[in-house]
């Protein structure tokens, strides 16, 4: 139906405007046709694709296996790494990792690089109303997300050289390495300082980071909204599909009772059946391509907020120490303040560089998912229209 066409197109066009920093509501250019929009963005996507020759990591997460112990059930994934980097002793490694190991890696990367944007992991537990934990669908969705996480790290110009990343990919067991992290008291001390700095606040945040914070807040609001709308559309499409499946057989049964109307009734039944098939494929496209991409960047928005808070905390700690130094005139404090000033400078430079890299990757990822979804929508509308014509 026309309503079904419109309800799917609204979020797609909305995110296109978000990714391109334009607004359809503000008078941005409207495409002449669905096909011209797809062709325009597909061309831009192909022009921006990086060369495959630059890759020096090829990482695969696959072969999930369920493990049951007396106290827990968990999934182990195989991680296969092929690399051409000289700092690795071998060109290929195969290890098995569970979700907790991925959490350890991400935590260590954030500790070592507090103002770098570390790609998010999928949530630990599924949300209410979604698939049950550890069924095939959930395991496959998580496997894809873990695979993407490692490949995002492998493409990062700094994080990919982390010793923690190397250990994760190569060590047969991580127990001894996980014990080498900061102790409980050390982590508590960091948390207390972060809370104190947050309460104290900043004297003056640099303008460029205020602009960055505003963008993050805006991006988070938009991507969360589009994610929710898309989830709702999928729910409505599934209900629509259930109705179609009940609707078609009614015409078939009716045709058996009405000889004079048998031909047109069978035509309608065939049309409904084709619409059902195309609707099912469209739901699959939204569920497997668009929703994962949107939700991934919902999580990215939370990551960005955390990175901004850590940058602000570093600056707040420097400002507090600098004020204390002005009142005490202690040489020892002066050395500490100099160190904190350098830390602020490094944090700012690191974040600015990573921010540009993240924005480019985000626009590439979302554009690809949106183009694919739009192509499927156009294909869906064409096939449904053809089915309606054939039934007449």
CATH class entry, domain 57-175:
alpha beta
Q: State CA 382 to chain mean position distance.
A: 30
Contact 174, 101 (CB under 8 A): yes
pLDDT digits (tens, 9 = 90+) for 56-104: 999 999 999 988 888 888 899 999 999 999 999 999 999 999 999 999 9
Sign, CA dihedral 279-284-290-294, equals positive
- Strand order of the β-sheet with 57-68 is 57-68, 73-83, 92-98
pLDDT tens across 186-217, in order?
A: 455 555 455 555 545 677 889 999 999 999 99
pLDDT at 379: 86
Confidence (pLDDT) at 11 = 47
332, two tokens = 């020892």
In the prediction, which pLDDT does 22 show? 45
CA distance 263 to 361: 54
Enumerate the domain spans of the chain: 57-175, 207-390
Calculate helix-pair angle for 207-257, 331-391, nearest 10 degrees. Answer: 20
Q: How confident is residue 7, by pLDDT bands cut at 50, 70 and 90?
A: very low
Sign of CA dihedral 65, 67, 72, 73: positive
Dig out the tokens for 88 from the structure: 């690795």
Percent of the chain with pLDDT over 90: 52
In CATH, the number for domain 207-390 is 1.20.1270.60
DSSP per-residue codes, 23-91: -TTTTPPPPSSHHHHHHHHHHHHHHHPPPGGG--EEEEEEEEEEEE-SS-EEEEEEEEEEE--TTSSSS
Residue 301 to residue 117: CA distance in whole angstroms = 10
8 Å CB contact between 181 and 131: no
What six digits make up the tokens of 232? 């709702």
Domains 57-175 and 207-390 share a fold: no
Residue 389: pLDDT over 90:
no
- Residue 69 is predicted with a pLDDT of 83
Element (H, E) at 193: helix 184-200
């Amino acid at each position: 139906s026309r309503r079904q066409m419109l309800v799917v197109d609204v979020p797609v066009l909305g995110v296109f405007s978000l990714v391109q920093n334009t607004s359809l509501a503000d008078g941005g250019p409207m495409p002449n046709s669905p096909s011209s929009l797809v062709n325009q963005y597909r061309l831009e996507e192909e022009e921006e694709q990086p060369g495959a020759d630059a890759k020096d990591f090829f990482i695969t997460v696959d072969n999930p296996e369920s493990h049951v112990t007396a106290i827990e059930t968990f999934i182990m994934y195989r991680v296969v790494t092929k690399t051409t980097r000289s700092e690795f002793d071998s060109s290929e490694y195969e290890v098995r990792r569970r979700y907790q190991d991925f959490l350890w890696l991400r935590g260590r990367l954030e500790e070592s690089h507090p103002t770098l944007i570390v790609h998010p992991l999928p949530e630990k537990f599924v949300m209410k109303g979604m698939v049950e934990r550890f069924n095939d669908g959930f395991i496959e969705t998580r496997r894809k997300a873990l695979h993407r996480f490692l490949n995002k790290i492998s493409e990062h110009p700094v994080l990919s050289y982390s010793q923690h990343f190397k250990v994760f990919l190569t060590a047969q067991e991580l127990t001894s390495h996980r014990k080498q992290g900061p102790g409980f008291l050390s982590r508590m001390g960091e948390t207390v300082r972060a809370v104190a700095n947050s309460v104290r606040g900043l004297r003056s945040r640099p303008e460029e980071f205020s602009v960055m914070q505003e963008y993050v807040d805006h991006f988070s609001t938009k991507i969360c909204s589009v994610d929710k709308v898309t989830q709702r559309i999928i729910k409505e499409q599934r209900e629509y599909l259930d109705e179609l499946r009940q609707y078609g057989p009614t015409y078939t049964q009716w045709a058996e009772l009405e000889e004079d109307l048998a031909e047109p009734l069978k035509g309608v039944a065939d049309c409904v059946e084709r619409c059902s098939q195309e609707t099912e494929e469209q739901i699959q496209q939204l569920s497997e391509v668009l929703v994962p991409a949107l939700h991934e960047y919902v999580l990215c928005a939370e990551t960005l907020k955390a990175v901004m808070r850590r940058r602000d905390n570093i600056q707040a700690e420097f400002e507090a120490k600098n004020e204390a130094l002005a009142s005490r005139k202690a040489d020892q404090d002066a050395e500490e303040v100099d160190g904190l000033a350098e830390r602020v400078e490094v944090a700012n430079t690191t974040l600015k560089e990573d921010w540009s890299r993240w924005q480019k990757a985000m626009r590439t990822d979302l554009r690809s998912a949106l183009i694919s979804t739009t192509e499927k929508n156009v294909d869906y509308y064409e096939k449904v229209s053809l089915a309606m014509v054939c039934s007449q």
